[in-house]
Amino acid sequence: MARNDEFIREVDEEYRRDQIAQIWARYNGVIIAVVVLIVAGVGGWRYWEHMQETNAQAAAVRYEEALRLSDQDKGQEVQAALEALAKEGGTGYSLLARFRLAAEQGQQNPENGASAYDALANDAAVSPVWKDLARLRAAWLRLDTAEPAALRQSLEPLAAPTNAWRHSARELLGLSGLKAGDMDYAGRWFDQIAADRETPSALRQRLAVYTALVAGGPVQATQ
């Protein structure tokens, strides 16, 4: 039996070698091409990763340089550096540069800054979380000038319990109520801030002032 088993095993191995030889003879060109493609694909992916890392590092250096120029009050050079970086794309620093540009413009002219944030919020290439941040920043800049209804329409979706920016959105909504003399509206949002366990401590400190203003009621204009 042992000799028979060994014979059968040898025959089986020989058959397999023969099958492999036939497959290689018939498809060697295809096999080689597939191997070459795999190797090229892996090499291309490695090269792409390397270039992405290199570009990101270069963008980081340029962004830091723009911030140093800002500290030196070189406004025009800062804007030129940020605009160049914002146009490049491909790294997170281009998006960061666009936000920084909008902030710089907002310091000079709130509506211009808000318009720059609007462009970010309406850009299909920007992810939803950053679009929401752009809407929030635009609302901050328009708090003193926009109609309360328009401001609230933009902000109320951001105040949802699952939104990353809900705390700031609720604060802005409450402030819009205070500015309009609508204490019921303001109080509703301040209550939501108080009830949220994840409300930042700095906002809770400001909340004490806000609730006192709500309790005091609308300020009556005197002549």
Average pLDDT over residues 70-84: 63
Shared domain for 164 and 138, answered yes or no, is no
Average pLDDT (39-64) is 55
- Summarised one tens digit per residue, pLDDT across range 97-150 is 888 888 888 888 999 999 999 999 999 988 999 999 999 999 999 998 988 888
Last residue of a domain, one of 93, 117, 146: 146
Structure confidence at residue 169 (pLDDT): 95
Domain end point (choices 121, 146, 171): 146
| Whether residues 140 and 155 fall in one domain | no
Separation of alpha carbons 58 and 53, rounded Å: 9
Return the HEC string of 187-223. Answer: HHHHHHHHHCCCCCHHHHHHHHHHHHHHHHCCCCCCC
Cβ neighbours around 99 below 10 Å, total: 18
At residue 58 the predicted structure's pLDDT band, cuts being 50, 70 and 90, is: low
Taking the alpha carbons at both ends of the chain, their separation in whole angstroms is 118
Examine the pLDDT at 78 and tell me if it is beyond 80: no
pLDDT at 129: 92
Asked if 103 and 91 touch (Cβ cutoff 8 Å), the reply is no
Rounded to the nearest integer, the mean pLDDT of the chain is 77
140 shares a domain with 63: yes
In a domain, 174, yes or no: yes
194, 212 in Cβ contact below 8 A?
no
